[in-house]
Amino acid sequence: MNRVRWIIQNNLISPSDLSAIKNACQKLGVGYKEVCVIPFSNELPEFPQDEVTNIYYGATAFISELHKKSKPLGIFFDEERFSLETAMNNWQEYMLNSEGKITTLQNFSESSYPLDSKWFIRPNADDKSFAGEVIRFADFKDWYQRLITQNVSLNVHSKILVAPPYNIKKEWRNFVVNGKVITSTLYRRNFQVHVSDSEAPQQVVDFVEKRCKEFMPHKLFAMDIALCGDEYYVIECNCLNSIGFYGANIFVIVKAITEYVASINSGVEK
Q: Does 234 reside within a domain? A: yes
Distances (CA, A) of 65 to 40, 60, 69, 72: 11, 8, 6, 11
Considering the entire predicted model, what is its pTM?
A: 0.92
Q: Both 189 and 218 in a single domain?
A: yes
pLDDT, residue 1, reads: 62
pLDDT, residue 40, reads: 85
Distances (CA, A) of 156 to 152, 163, 230, 251: 11, 19, 38, 41
pLDDT, residue 249, reads: 96
Q: Both 158 and 174 in a single domain?
A: no
Q: Does 260 reside within a domain? A: no
Domain of residue 150, residue span: 99-163
Q: Both 157 and 186 in a single domain?
A: no
Low-confidence stretches of the chain (pLDDT beneath 50): none
Say which residues have a Cβ less than 8 Å from residue 65's Cβ, sequence separation at least 6.
42, 44
Q: Both 201 and 176 in a single domain?
A: yes
Q: Does 270 reside within a domain? A: no
Q: Does 243 reside within a domain? A: no
Q: Does 227 reside within a domain? A: yes
pLDDT, residue 190, reads: 82
Task: Give the total number of structural domains in the chain.
Answer: 3
Q: Both 159 and 131 in a single domain?
A: yes
Q: Domain end: 138, 163, 188, which one? A: 163
SS3 23: helix
Using one digit for the tens of pLDDT, what is the confidence trace for 60-77? Answer: 999 999 999 999 999 999
* CATH code of the domain in which 133 resides: 3.30.1490.20
Q: Does 192 reside within a domain? A: yes
Q: Domain end: 42, 75, 108, which one? A: 75
* CATH code of the domain in which 204 resides: 3.30.470.20
Q: Both 173 and 232 in a single domain?
A: yes
Q: Domain end: 139, 163, 187, which one? A: 163
pLDDT, residue 270, reads: 58
Q: Does 80 reside within a domain? A: no
Q: Does 32 reside within a domain? A: yes
pLDDT, residue 56, reads: 98
**From CA 203, how far away is CA 20, in angstroms rounded?**
28
Pairing of strands 101-104, 159-163: antiparallel
